[in-house]
Amino acid sequence: MKIVIVGPGAMGCLVAAFLSKSKHEIWILDKSKKRAEIIAKNGIKLEGISGNWKARVSATNNAKDIKSADLVIICTKSYDTKSAIKSAAEIVNDNTSVVTLQNGVGNVEIIADEIGEDNVIGGVSNLGATLLGDGHIRHAGCGETIIGRIDGKIPVLMRDIREIFNKVGIKTRISRDIKSLIWSKLIINVGINALTAITRLNNGRLVEFVGTREILKDAVTEAVKVAKRKRIKLIFDDPLSKVESVCEATATNVASMLQDVLKQKRTEIDFINGVIVRQGKSLGVKTPVNEILVYLVKTIEQSYNLRVK
């Protein structure tokens, strides 16, 4: 099987490195020619909870070099999803499955608009990684990866993907209700990511201060109201307790949105808290706290070069 990972960020490099342990042909498709050349030459360097090791993979910024793919895994930022699937269009055929392992809501739909929903597999992953440099990551957390189709069907290839992932150490299972899982992860991200980006605190610190704890609670409560109005069943009975427990379990983690802010990069705020604001407006659910969080993060993004040193 030829497997192509689109986007060599922290998650893309982590998945590619682990899949390199398999017997399959592993490629990274990157938008940056320079970065692809670095990874092709030096491989992927890992440190952290899985030890210090190096993985060898093929890498390119030109889909023509890959020719075709059996499985494409999208690991880009959500705002790059459309350009990512367009860049991979040349290697996607009727028998190619495309898996999204991204944050936020809407990625499955964006990919399906380009290639058709029958080829798309949604996914959520609790793997944790921090990008330290081009092709250099710190493996920060082991967690379950869950995949599934929006229509609940389980084709043979999806079982093959699960087997491949499990064999290389990416603990994976299949769900017939991936939409609920995607939204459940969204609820967690809504409570954590924007607050860390604004306060520059590690995950665990958010529940140590009265102010951040109250804002977290309000943001999550609004998101849950939107999910209920959409009749989406979340996988946990007490969403607020779940978000707080995730903060504690990942206490030293630097959330992805905070990583983006520290690097003065664009964030995924539109695909996380922004989703709650947009869906809330369309459903008649008020989301003032999420709206403020979106405004604040966008202000940070737009003022990187104006900030007091």
pLDDT at 143: 87
Please list, in sequence order, all residues whose beta carbon lies within 8 angstroms of the beta carbon of residue 40, skipping any fewer than 6 positions away: 57, 58, 59, 60
Domains, the chain, ordered by start? 2-175 (3.40.50.720), 180-306 (1.10.1040.10)
pLDDT at 252: 87
For residues 123 and 107, the answer to whether their CB atoms sit within 8 Å is no
Q: 10-residue block means of pLDDT along the chain (309 residues)? A: 96 98 97 97 96 97 96 97 96 96 96 95 93 94 93 95 98 97 97 98 97 98 98 96 94 92 96 98 98 98 90
* Local structure of 148: helix, strand or coil: strand
The model's pTM is: 0.94
Q: How many CA atoms lie within 13 A of 54 on its CB side?
A: 6
The b-or-e profile of 43-72 (16+ CB within 10 A means b, else e) is bbbbebebeeeebebbbbbebeebeebbbb
Please list, in sequence order, all residues whose beta carbon lies within 8 angstroms of the beta carbon of residue 117, skipping any fewer than 6 positions away: 108, 150, 151
Phi and psi at residue 149, in whole multiples of 5°?
A: -90, 150
pLDDT at 278: 98
For residues 283 and 226, the answer to whether their CB atoms sit within 8 Å is yes
Residue 228: in which H helix or E strand, if any? helix 210-229
CA 259 to chain CA centroid, nearest Å: 13
Reference 18, options 161, 170, 140; nearest CA is 170
Token digits of residue 154: 């389980």
Task: Specify whether 167 is catalytic.
Answer: no
Token digits of residue 181: 């899982």
Q: 44-48 and 53-55: which strand pairing?
A: antiparallel
pLDDT at 148: 98
| DSSP designation for 135 | T
Q: How far apart are CA 113 and CA 26, in angstroms?
A: 26
Reference 16, options 34, 40, 33, 32; nearest CA is 40
Q: How far apart are CA 27 and CA 66, in angstroms?
A: 8
Reference 214, options 233, 188, 240, 196; nearest CA is 240
* Catalytic hit among 185, 217, 230, 281: 185
Q: In sequence order, which ranges of 116-175 are alpha helices (DSSP H)?
A: 156-167
